[in-house]
């Protein structure tokens, strides 16, 4: 007799359990957690570089930096004097809740207790598919999409854009050089996600960044649930 086991569903269930544990830990410590996700090269690290100086003046923050290999992104972000915990996933295509739990443990061991921080930014592995399905305990999922990727991507990779609480369209300075229709991209994002705020950002031209920082401020002002562990 064979028992059929849906490995995918079981893995996701175990991850959701760990993510709920992480979330309770974040709430109890009074720290807000955002999970940044996108294709490789959509500009997650560049966006963080553009805001870290300002964020570090306003909040006590730390970063968990996911990459398959190398600490290139972690090195870029450390220049801002912010604690960065790199997680190299090896062959894995996304951060999962257990990896982030491990990263938080390293943060607490090497830097300071979690309750010391206001904000924990998680930069996920560049992948428009898998990270969308693996919650890490975050309060908000932030999905980036570069205009260079084309207007059809929200329709072709709907899970990522449906799950997002905040949408950031990047590299808008390249629109004049691309066969990319901004109206159509907006329309396609709204087909998949009717409500999440959409920010149009160019790090090169420094546009849209203040608006996105405003969204983060509003999130950080909202009260966290009271947790008794």
d(CA 154, CA 161): 6
> Are β-strands 119-123 and 61-67 bridged in parallel, bridged antiparallel, or unpaired?
parallel
Between 152 and 211, name the residue whose CB sits nearer to its own copies: 152
Choose one: 18-26, 57-65, 124-132, 211-219; the region binding its own copies (CB under 8 A).
124-132
Between 70 and 227, name the residue whose CB sits nearer to its own copies: 70
Number of residues that bind its own copies (CB under 8 A): 38
Taking residues 62 to 81 in sequence order and writing x for each that binds its own copies by CB under 8 A, - otherwise, the string is -----xxxx-xx--------
Task: Show the tokens assigned to 61.
Answer: 């923050």
d(CA 179, CA 13): 41
d(CA 17, CA 191): 30
Between 119 and 147, name the residue whose CB sits nearer to its own copies: 147
3-state helix, strand, coil in the chain (%, to 5): 50, 15, 35
Q: Considering the rule CB under 8 A, would residue 98 count as an interface residue with its own copies?
A: no
Q: Are 162 and 123 in contact (CB under 8 A)?
A: no
Contact residues: its own copies, CB under 8 A: 7-8, 39-41, 67-70, 72-73, 91, 93, 125-130, 133, 146, 148-150, 152-153, 155-159, 171, 173-174, 177-179, 204
């Amino acid at each position: 007799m064979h028992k059929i086991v849906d490995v995918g569903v079981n893995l996701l269930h175990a991850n959701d359990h760990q993510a709920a544990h992480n979330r309770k830990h974040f709430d109890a410590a009074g720290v807000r957690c955002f999970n940044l996700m996108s294709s490789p090269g959509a500009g997650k690290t560049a966006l963080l570089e553009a805001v870290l100086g300002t964020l570090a003046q306003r909040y006590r923050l730390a970063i968990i930096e996911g990459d398959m290999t190398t600490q290139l992104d972690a090195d870029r972000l450390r220049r801002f004097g912010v604690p960065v915990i790199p997680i190299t996933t090896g062959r894995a295509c996304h951060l999962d809740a257990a990896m982030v739990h491990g990263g938080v443990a390293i943060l607490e061991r090497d830097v300071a207790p979690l309750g010391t921080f206001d904000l924990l930014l998680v930069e996920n592995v560049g992948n428009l598919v898998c990270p969308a399905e693996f919650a890490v305990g975050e309060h908000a999922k932030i999905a980036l999409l570069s205009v260079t990727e084309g207007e059809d991507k929200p329709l072709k990779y709907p899970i990522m854009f449906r799950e997002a609480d905040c949408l950031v369209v990047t590299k808008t300075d390249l629109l004049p050089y691309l066969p990319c229709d901004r109206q159509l991209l907006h329309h396609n994002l709204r087909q998949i996600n009717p409500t999440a705020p959409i920010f149009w950002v160019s790090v090169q031209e420094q546009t849209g960044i203040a608006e996105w920082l405003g969204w983060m401020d509003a999130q950080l002002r909202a009260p966290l649930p009271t947790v008794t562990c």
